[in-house]
A and B are shown apart, each in its own frame.
Chain A
Amino acid sequence: MATLNINGTTHQVDAPDDMPLLWVIRDIIGLTGTKFGCGIAQCGACTVHIDGQAARSCVLPISAIGDKKITTIEAVGETSAGKSIQKAWLDLEVMQCGYCQSGQIMSACSLLGQHPHPNDEQIDTAMAGNICRCGTYPRIRAAIKVAAKEGA
């Protein structure tokens, strides 16, 4: 039995220690906004926040989380960075098919949490692990800049 704090709610889950967090949030808790892409930390689709930091939930054994706070795409809009990122995403119509986007948004929010006014280098480093098969990268970068300006 593990106790996990997800989006402000405490959940008791009956799962083995080595189960990836992604399986728990999608299959046991039922929050399906977080996506499965590769399962080996190479695409970013499964990005969530652990105490505000972006993490790939597909390679995060639940035993490693302890009482840290997990935030998923379903609740990130309640943070100030999340609010401005989601607004910029809509204003610039960043999404194409959308599959990678919850991961993109989670990485972008975590970036703004650390660097409220990121330069191109910082954006590239933070977003490099999030792959988009539709090629929305230019719009992602623009939207991050818009969100940074509006959030200021």
Chain B
Amino acid sequence: MKITSGLMNICATIIAFSFSLNVFAISPADIKKGEYLARVGDCVSCHTAPHGKDFAGGLPMLTPVGAIYTTNITPDPETGIGKYTESDFAKALRRGVAKDGHHLYPAMPYPSYAKVSDTDIHYLYLYFKHGVKPVRQANKASEIPWPLNYRFPLAIWNAFFLDKETYKPDPDKDANWNRGAYLVQGLGHCGACHTPRGLAFQEKGLTHESGKFLSGETLEGWSATNLRDDHNTGLGRWSESDIVVYLKSGANQHSSAFGTMTPVINNSTEGMTLEDLTGMSSYLKTIKGSDDKGQKPYKYDPSATLAQFKEPAKHPGAKLYQQYCAACHSQNGQGVAPYLSPLAGNPAVMDPDPSSLINVILNGSPQLKPQGVAAPYNMPKFRHILNDTEVAQLVTFMQKGWNHNLDATDAKQVAKIRKMPPSAH
């Protein structure tokens, strides 16, 4: 009898044990799904300090009211999110509310992540809980001064600007388009940089239904270009496959990624599936333009610019360009796409806000590394070689050149960007 009951006990334990294993078994495939989604969301670019451990936070983000530091999102129970339940995690991601109830600053793109589905939140949670290595690293306090550092008004902010609906597919569009819209509006959080922000730092539009959505914005001294269908300043002249090539490799026949877009390519889009990238480009191509901010449709014509190179004494901008830029970007402004970016007709050059042009000349660009392979030609920095007047002359030369005919830039604009810390990304 004793033996039998003992055996039964053992059997019961085994059954209970294997049952519990079944319930809680975490499949590596699901963690992989979460890892992919974390890549789509590009969590690592912001939640990792320069030379820091992945996801351990500490990257400074400059907001109009002071620097804040990204937080540790590794599963360390003390300093990270190890004690978060799935619903705590969902609340932080989609509502901007941490486990202890404090409100996150909307530099965390939770208004975009609010669109993310429950299933995707689940996979992401599995990945951050079981796929990421815990790192013990305390979070840094923000540098936002009193009284702006009170977080309770963020609850009111949320009431105004947070749309709590997850993404609802548009039944009139195909699955490809809907997948793209879901990614662009949601995890991809393209609008966090590319949509203009209002006085309360809110994005002025979270979907294509707003005319402002993805129409371009300047953050941390970089102008994130217009992604709508505008002919000059947007993606009007890019085909769907141009967009896919750009996101996969960081460059195409029109332009190369630089500045803060580089980590987005390196850490996120280069590893996305072709299906997802095709969806995103097909969605982006349906977002109507906003009239190119009054510019005439661009037509390439290098003749007047080429003539300037013959009389360098009269054209200081052309002379500087010849000396520092032409070897790669060519006198005709066409570069050697996709390796050396064209400048003629490049939407980043035609952007009415010259911040990015100034910034990339002063600070160069981080190395593009699609598929882990460093791109062979990198933009060097010229901040120690060219003074503010010279940079302004160069930028103006490009703004006027190759038939762009845009407004000029002055040395004061350069001085302002020179003072900003080169992006920590």
Contact = CB atoms under 8 A, between A and B. Distances in A.
Interface of A: 18-20, 40-42, 55-56, 59-61, 63-64, 121-122, 125, 128-129
A18 B380 CA distance: 18
B328 A59 contact: yes
Nearest to B309: A125
Contact of B378 (A40, A55, A128): A40
B376 A18 contact: yes
A61 B327 CA distance: 12
Contact of A40 (B312, B319, B323, B380): B380
B313 A121 contact: yes
Contact of A125 (B319, B340, B377): B319
Contacts of B411: none
B137 interface: no
**Which of B312, B340, B376 gathers the greatest number of chain A CB atoms within 10 Å?**
B376
Given A20-B376, A42-B380, A59-B327, A125 B339 contact: no
A42 B324 CA distance: 7
Given A60-B336, A121-B313, 18 more contacts: A18-B376, A19-B376, A20-B376, A40-B380, A42-B380, A55-B327, A56-B327, A56-B328, A59-B377, A61-B339, A61-B340, A63-B336, A64-B339, A121-B312, A122-B312, A125-B323, A128-B322, A128-B323
Tell me the interface secondary structure of chain A in the complex: mixed
Given A42-B380, A128-B323, A61 B336 contact: yes
A55 B328 CA distance: 9
Contact of B328 (A18, A41, A63, A125): A41
A129 B324 CA distance: 7
A129 B339 CA distance: 21
Contacts of A128: 322-323
A33 B159 CA distance: 69
A139 B250 CA distance: 44
A64 B336 contact: yes
Contacts of A41: 327-328
Contacts of A20: 376-377
Nearest to A115: B310
Highest count of chain A CB atoms <10 Å: which of B319, B323, B378: B323
Contacts of A122: 312
A59 B312 CA distance: 23
A128 B328 CA distance: 15
A111 B275 CA distance: 51
Contacts of B378: 40
Nearest to A46: B327
